[in-house]
Structure 1
Amino acid sequence: MNMNIASLKEVVSAEEWQLRVDLAACYRLVALYGWSDLVFTHISARVPGPEHHFLINPYGLMFDEITASSLVKVDQACNKVIDSPYPVNPAGFVIHSAVHEARHDMQCVLHTHTRAGVAVSAQKCGILPISQQSAFVLASLGYHDYEGVAFRDDEKPRLQKDLGTARHLVLRNHGLLTVGETIADAFMNMYRFESTCQIQLSAQAGGELIHFPEEIYSGDDRAATYVRGGGMGGPFVWPALLRKLDRLDTSYQH
């Protein structure tokens, strides 16, 4: 696959370029933290404006190869808006287009197939209230039952209903999904989600578990829990994550 691509920095708006840089950084960070699944899964971001355009990964590139200019701009049917030498995966965009269609309040949709995430998604108990990380997840969580590989449009209404207003979604027998008002928020939501699953599997291997009360993540405390944990999440941590990435490789910015 040709890895040489002209920069789009002078082609797109400054706002879209910044979105491209942040999304490329998100792909690199997902790879860095070990959440990628070869070239599979996707992170999508809605481009500001009335056109309902989105940025998504060039299908076939590893997440640590993705750059701001290589991201593919598509419409809601996953047709290319800007010509690109890279293919896109329409089947992989089904879940993302469903979420973007229903959640105009969210800019970014992040989906993973991590070992811990898939393992917990296959547990009947789902996410257990056993860690501080899980409290943030449980405060805004939905579940969607497995219907096979997600390429059929008729699954969209059920997925949209199961997500509702939540920021975290367990895709049963499949993996994890988060949404965020920004790319940074979607990443931080997934960081907590993935940590919750890893902690749960480790705790289950170590003996009897202590569950904290439901009041901590529901009712009047639900909003307070999310605000305390998520209110300074993405925008607060994102600059530090970018500095970490820049110390390793700045090529995502091109």
Structure 2
Amino acid sequence: MSDAERQARVDLAACYRLVAERGWGDLIYTHVSLAVPDEPGRFLINPFGLTFDEVTASTLVKITIDGDIVGDTPYEVNATGFAIHGAVHAARADARCVMHLHNEAAVAVSMLKDGLLPLSQHALRFYRDLAYHRYDGLALTDGEKARLVEDLGQRRAMLLHNHGSLVAGRTVAEAFCLMDMLDKACRMQLAAQATGAELVLPPPDVCEKTFRQLTADLEPEGELEWPALLRRLDRVCPDYRR
């Protein structure tokens, strides 16, 4: 494999380990997918049947946009689970890394009629950058895939009502750091709402200003954080690189 693909595998395996560390996993379900560098229409995804803390660079499976396996591997993939990812990858060339999770805080906020409120600085990162998608059951039809892509638009993050979360990153680092921020925003909101006290929301002009400040840098987010996260993984579970 190319050096670029090898690095992509290491980054994606690291992302799976970090998701496991955060407690965002759902047994063997949900996925993080990544476009293979210099191979249009090819993506890397986790083997179906492994928990996220078992994923390594070499166990990741290469697939087509339709979920068909490319090359030799002893592993299977959850082609149905890739349907959401494939729809986003096909519609958004910038969405090189798509993360769809059932993290509990995000699912809980997706159940609320008003969704994510601009209560915290973390939440304000998504003030104009968070989409919502209506729940329509387990089966993802062509019609629903089109509706999901339309709902997402050009935003980086989405809450799927009664279901989960999704982020579309230009890099693995950006996808992970966006999900980390979204999850924290959801947990902070739920903690505040659990007190039953009156909530303090910043005025709309402050929300707009803060969102612009937090998104002013046009480079992918997470570039400074990612090397630090990898250094920590190298200390505690270096086998992800295998």
- State if a TM-score over 0.5 links the two structures: yes
**Structure 1: unaligned runs, 5 residues or longer:** 1-11
Confirm or deny that 1:66 pairs with 2:51: no
Confirm or deny that 1:247 pairs with 2:235: yes
Confirm or deny that 1:29 pairs with 2:18: yes
Secondary structure, aligned partner of 1:16 = helix
TM-score (norm: length of structure 1):
0.91
* Shift in Å, 1:221: 5.8
Picking from 149, 163, 180, the partner of 1:191 is 180
Equivalence for 2:169: 180
TM-score (norm: length of structure 2):
0.95
**Structure 2: unaligned runs, 5 residues or longer:** none
Opposite residue 209 of structure 1, the aligned amino acid is L
Give yes or no for contact 1:26–1:183 (8 Å, CA) kept in 2. yes
Equivalence for 2:205: 215
* Shift in Å, 1:112: 1.0
Calculate percent identity across the aligned residue pairs: 49
Opposite residue 149 of structure 1, the aligned amino acid is L
Within 1, Cα distance between the matches of 2:78 and 2:59? 14
Equivalence for 1:49: 38
Secondary structure, aligned partner of 2:215 = helix
- Alpha-carbon spacing, 1:50–1:217, altered in 2? closer, same or farther (3 Å): farther
Give yes or no for contact 1:217–1:225 (8 Å, CA) kept in 2. no
Confirm or deny that 1:108 pairs with 2:97: yes
Give yes or no for contact 2:16–2:52 (8 Å, CA) kept in 1. yes
Give yes or no for contact 1:45–1:183 (8 Å, CA) kept in 2. yes
Instruction: Map 1:112-131; keep pairs closer than 5 Å.
Output: 112-131=101-120
Within 2, Cα distance between the matches of 1:215 and 1:170? 24
Secondary structure, aligned partner of 1:235 = coil
Picking from 152, 164, 167, the partner of 1:163 is 152
Opposite residue 204 of structure 1, the aligned amino acid is Q
Picking from 216, 225, 234, the partner of 1:237 is 225
Within 2, Cα distance between the matches of 1:102 and 1:48? 17
Picking from 182, 193, 201, the partner of 1:204 is 193
Opposite residue 202 of structure 2, the aligned amino acid is F
Within 2, Cα distance between the matches of 1:189 and 1:110? 10
Equivalence for 1:80: 69
Give yes or no for contact 1:167–1:178 (8 Å, CA) kept in 2. yes
Secondary structure, aligned partner of 2:132 = strand
Opposite residue 74 of structure 1, the aligned amino acid is I
Picking from 133, 137, 142, the partner of 1:144 is 133
Within 2, Cα distance between the matches of 1:184 and 1:174? 24
Give yes or no for contact 1:39–1:63 (8 Å, CA) kept in 2. yes
Opposite residue 133 of structure 1, the aligned amino acid is H
Secondary structure, aligned partner of 1:137 = coil
Runs of at least 4 residues off by over 4 Å: none
- Alpha-carbon spacing, 1:120–1:154, altered in 2? closer, same or farther (3 Å): same
Within 1, Cα distance between the matches of 2:163 and 2:170? 24
